[in-house]
Structure 1
């Protein structure tokens, strides 16, 4: 049998189903698995207007619920050409508001909403909203929402979605006017000459930021993550096995809480989510330059340094591509500049959270190493060792500060949450 035939046979076997039922689950038919709690206790009005993108709104509703939101859908009659009442009721678990009755659904006095999200927001609805026209379910609800927003009682976000030919001067003027009033306008996904609706997760992330009351909101924070490769020649480089997922996870947690966060991510096998603000550092030298450049150009209050920074680099980078097959006679490695020391020296007011990874040391020795760094003037240290990763299957780390006992954290998500909680406490 040829190699192609064997591979094809293996692929067919991997797709084989033995007609067994699905695995049991505690989730009910309407339930969603929680991915976070950033919208826990928040009521979100999902206002759906008459564009083809309305077919995606049940997925948007469920994505909002995965962050803990309670979602109620409002639809125009045109929207129901593209999405059904049944699908929206199933995805929100609430009756859909399709018309205004004596209950005055557009006012929502008895159960106010934390945010109104217009997705998709059509040309017609945006311009009516700008001029205060209230001639239907969506526009009347928005008229009331604007009044609540002016009183500081709610938030509004619109997601413009339409064909490119509809983006004219009238639309631009309406968007600018609404923006000046305090309406959040989410940039559409630009593709094929159209303003397409963004992916569900992107919308949810912006809603989380919009309704956040975290002390971290608008606080400037620099995060670093990932490896910082050093080149051997024009092709080859030395790097490490760390992916940068932790730095990206911390960045996302801070971003969801509304922080003005920026990630410098070392190039490797992992790419952060596209909605996160980040720069890619391809080498150690580029990483160092980007960190110092960011801190020089902008007043950051906090720096979180998770990057697995190269400790050594070749004294000389070989020209071109070193021929393969031969012996590389010498590769003289020299120590790199310690980035956190450079940052601490040049930016003494920066609240620095640094990371320390060790292997073949005891837990007590690890904590002692972290405490020694605290004595050097660093605000907080996240310490972990390889042996504790292997023992539970997830990364185990300890948050070490000057005045508190070390706090254990298990898994990247928990590490990110506890660091964010710690930063909220120090800001308060």
Structure 2
């Protein structure tokens, strides 16, 4: 798809592949994009800012504290400017700083402040790429919603052979043309729920479940990368919020119901991955319950069925449900698909500790008249594959 009129902020960090980014600027402009460049101080040791200024037609920013630049476009305004951000090359050091939310120079500050999709084109020695610390940072960046383009394998400047080469400018150009604002979900508002709910028994105890929220958060990050506006209503979790989305934190099923129903009218797609409690204590104690008798009875009341209520709306979004089952997965999923009149349902087997609180999973996806099996893979890969199915079905509605 065309990049005509797209505003692309190119970040350049201190890798030997920085010279390729000069060609990348030229290709982006030929494709119709407007390009502005931010360099780290160390990157200027490889290519001068003047080179990028001549190619882009705009002054190059390198300093967080630049009195002249701040007068016209401070770092927050710069963060608001782009439709997409691409950092090429992205060194191991820069990736580590982004993974941990540091903002100690202009480029990392802009990345932390922007709402635009961010892509990284890694470049480093093959040993650095394979290092456990780097791979941990890659997983963190993926969870935060950053898209990684590459690296590719081959001979490196140091003489080593292996993964760590930056993608060629043409590859990066084509990647930008098929993601972000031009992605399969561009222009859509996706509302998701994720994580568990907690239903209070007394001020210190609650009923909950084993959901970690990883699948829903992976879907939120993937949807943002695919160009969607994303709202994520989530229960209590310990994983980082993906970049560039609206996150709404709740605790109870009733709070999640209120948050969803107040936002669903603007949503094009609703994906319910949250493990919402089916029952709640009817009368939570106002004080901590003391251990006095041998048995304790709790009177439970049904909670609102958020998924069913959204699906029953007169003007409803495309509705995707999730079914976590321990037996007869397909039968239960198809029954839920029909009874709640869903557009799609993704089912997984959570028996024997599968699915919940794991980094990978497998899904059986069903819709009226069709089905597709997504094999066991990381939840981030699974999210990409599931959203591709969603995008295809939404277009057919």
Into which bin does the TM-score normalised by the smaller protein fall? Answer: 0.5 to 0.7
Deviates more, 1:166-175 or 1:319-328: 166-175
- 2 CA distance for matches of 1:162 and 1:265? 34
Deviations 1:50-100 (A, max 9, x none): xxxxxxx13xxxxxxxxxxxxxxxxxxxxxxxxxxxxx21xx385675xxx
For 1:163, the equivalent position in structure 2 comes to 65
Does the Cα contact within 8 Å between 2:75 and 2:109 map onto a contact in 1?
no
Secondary structure of 1:334's match?
A: strand
Mapping 1:290-301, distance limit 5 Å: 290-296=259-265, 299-301=266-268
For 2:304, the equivalent position in structure 1 comes to 337
Per the alignment, do residues 166 and 231 of structure 1 end up closer, same or farther by CA in structure 2, a change over 3 Å counting?
farther
Structure 1 residue 197: deviation in Å? 2.3
Structure label with greater radius of gyration:
1
Secondary structure of 1:222's match?
A: strand
- 2 CA distance for matches of 1:106 and 1:382? 41
For 1:403, the equivalent position in structure 2 comes to 369
For 1:386, the equivalent position in structure 2 comes to 350
1:368 pairs with 2:331: yes
Q: TM-score, normalised by structure 1?
A: 0.59
Per the alignment, do residues 196 and 214 of structure 1 end up closer, same or farther by CA in structure 2, a change over 3 Å counting?
closer
1:218 pairs with 2:169: no
Structure 1 residue 290: deviation in Å? 0.6
Per the alignment, do residues 320 and 117 of structure 1 end up closer, same or farther by CA in structure 2, a change over 3 Å counting?
farther
Structure 1 residue 381: deviation in Å? 0.7
For 1:260, the equivalent position in structure 2 comes to 229
For 1:425, the equivalent position in structure 2 comes to 392
- 1 CA distance for matches of 2:277 and 2:218? 21
For 1:278, the equivalent position in structure 2 comes to 247
Does the Cα contact within 8 Å between 2:195 and 2:216 map onto a contact in 1?
yes
Structure 1 residue 423: deviation in Å? 2.0
Deviations 1:237-263 (A, max 9, x none): 111011000000111111111111111
- 1 CA distance for matches of 2:189 and 2:240? 22
Does the Cα contact within 8 Å between 1:226 and 1:307 map onto a contact in 2?
yes
Structure 1 residue 378: deviation in Å? 0.7
Give unpaired runs (5+ residues) of structure 2: 1-7, 42-48, 87-97, 120-146, 148-174
For 2:196, the equivalent position in structure 1 comes to 227
Structure 1 residue 107: deviation in Å? 4.4
Q: TM-score, normalised by structure 2?
A: 0.63
Structure 1 residue 141: deviation in Å? 1.3
- 1 CA distance for matches of 2:306 and 2:76? 47
Per the alignment, do residues 416 and 121 of structure 1 end up closer, same or farther by CA in structure 2, a change over 3 Å counting?
same
Mapping 1:20-419, distance limit 5 Å: 46=10, 48=12, 57-58=13-14, 88-89=15-16, 92=17, 107=26, 116=35, 118-120=37-39, 136-143=50-57, 162-163=64-65, 168-171=70-73, 179=81, 197-198=108-109, 205-207=117-119, 211=177, 212=179, 213-296=182-265, 299-323=266-290, 329-346=296-313, 348-359=315-326, 361=327, 365-376=328-339, 377-387=341-351, 390=354, 394-411=360-377, 412-419=379-386
Structure 1 residue 184: deviation in Å? 6.2
Number of equivalenced pairs: 307
- 1 CA distance for matches of 2:284 and 2:325? 29
Secondary structure of 1:321's match?
A: coil
Give unpaired runs (5+ residues) of structure 1: 1-43, 49-56, 59-87, 98-103, 123-134, 147-157
Structure 1 residue 230: deviation in Å? 0.5
Does the Cα contact within 8 Å between 1:164 and 1:195 map onto a contact in 2?
no
Secondary structure of 1:268's match?
A: coil
Secondary structure of 2:184's match?
A: coil
- 2 CA distance for matches of 1:347 and 1:265? 25
Deviates more, 1:344-353 or 1:244-253: 344-353
